[in-house]
């Protein structure tokens, strides 16, 4: 059954009418669409998580552009619940590394269940996190769990994890597209990041993304990506 469309005032009594503007949309010829789709996929296929970074510097403008790209992500109720804290101060990076390695050491040597160890074995990761001091930028992504007004009162945010994850996906794609590389790092637990970076109580660190050039001779684990038939279904299975 399809229902008649309600008026705005019926659903939102007392709220001001939203402001609309024409959608800007450039329709492309089908051949051009195919060409672009293939080129974009080829480009993304070449992305790899890098764990060895060169110490070569990267301009702040490039990091800002990656963050601006991330900030174009859709978000639940347009709350944009992401904060990107870009760290370049060597002393601060050193402190982040020290705290992260402390937690990671405990994880790898005591806390890690066997199933998790088995999942990580093909990657060969360990508790020494050189990337946190080698990469010129370490971008820490925070999720705004709820909104905080200047007077200290709070308001609800929606789908914050999903929204921040989408934004980070765009950030990673932007970094790759501009000719740099990154690592999606999740030190566990990572509460120390909020304290070290002076973030407010409504934010929670979600990911750490060192950004830079790969170290000369950097290697990555040989991995296989799932085939289309394994990740895609059309209509009911
Ligand atoms: C949510 C998330 C958390 C991750 N955490 C870590 C991590 O803590 N340390 C690490 O070395 N790699 C981490 N990775 C990277 C994955 O291991 C990597 O993406 C995966 O092995 C596939 O490799 P690729 O990115 O080169 O395709 C993480 C990736 C994601 C998406």
Sorted by where each begins, the domain ranges of the chain are: 54-215
**Residue pointed to by tokens 């040989």:** 222
User: Which pLDDT score, from 0 to 100, does residue 38 have?
Assistant: 98
Name the H helices within 27-159: 30-45, 60-70, 90-106, 114-120, 131-134
Gyration radius of the chain over CA positions: 21
Residue 81: per-residue pLDDT? 98
Query: What pLDDT, on a 0 to 100 scale, did the predictor assign at position 192?
Result: 95
Percent of the chain past pLDDT 90, that is, above it, reads 98
How far is 233 from 49, CA to CA, in rounded Å? Answer: 27
The pLDDT tens digits for 116-157 are 999 999 999 999 999 999 999 999 999 999 999 999 999 999
Which residue among 43, 44, 49 has the greatest number of ligand 1 atoms within 8 angstroms of its CB, and so is best to mutate? 49
Cα separation, 149 vs 145, in Å, equals 13
Residue located nearest, by CA, to atom 2 of ligand 1: 184
Measured CA to CA, the distance from residue 143 to residue 17 in angstroms comes to 30
- For residue 168, the surrounding DSSP H or E stretch is helix 160-177
Whose CA is closest to atom 20 on ligand 1? 49
- Distance, in Å, from the CA atom of 18 to the CA atom of 96, rounded to the nearest integer, reads 44
Close Cβ partners of 32 (under 8 Å, ≥ 6 residues apart): none
Residue nearest to atom 7 of ligand 1 (CA): 185
Q: Which CATH number fits domain 54-215: 3.40.250.10, 3.40.109.10, 3.20.20.70, 3.40.228.10?
A: 3.40.109.10
Alpha-carbon gap, residue 226 to 208, rounded angstroms: 25
Average pLDDT over residues 90-110: 96
Asked whether 63 and 223 are in contact (CB, 8 A), the reply is no
Does 1 have pLDDT greater than 90? no
Distance, in Å, from the CA atom of 193 to the CA atom of 37, rounded to the nearest integer, reads 38
Mean pLDDT for the chain overall: 97
Distance spanning both ends of the chain, measured CA to CA: 25
Residue 237 pLDDT: 84
């Amino acid at each position: 059954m399809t229902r008649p469309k309600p008026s705005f005032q019926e659903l939102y009594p007392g709220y001001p009418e939203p402001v609309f503007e024409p959608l800007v949309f450039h329709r492309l010829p089908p051949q051009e669409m195919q060409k672009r789709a293939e080129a974009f996929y080829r480009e993304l296929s070449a992305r790899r998580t890098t764990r060895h970074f060169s110490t070569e510097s990267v301009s702040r403008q490039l990091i800002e552009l990656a963050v601006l790209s991330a900030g174009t992500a859709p978000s639940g109720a347009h709350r944009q619940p992401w904060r990107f804290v870009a760290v370049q101060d060597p002393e601060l990076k050193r402190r982040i590394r020290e705290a992260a390695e402390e937690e990671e050491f405990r994880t790898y040597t005591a806390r890690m269940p066997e199933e998790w160890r088995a999942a990580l074995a093909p990657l060969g990761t360990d508790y020494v996190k050189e990337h946190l001091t080698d990469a010129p930028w370490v971008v820490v992504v925070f999720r705004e769990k709820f909104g905080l007004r200047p007077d200290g009162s709070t308001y609800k945010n929606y789908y914050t994890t999903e929204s921040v994850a989408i934004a980070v996906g765009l950030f990673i794609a932007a970094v790759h597209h501009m000719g740099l590389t990154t690592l999606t790092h999740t030190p566990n637990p990572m509460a120390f990041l909020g304290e070290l970076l002076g973030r407010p109580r409504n934010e929670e660190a979600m990911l750490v993304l060192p950004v830079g050039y790969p170290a000369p001779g950097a290697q990555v684990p040989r991995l296989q990506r799932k085939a289309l038939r394994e990740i895609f279904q059309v209509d009911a299975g």
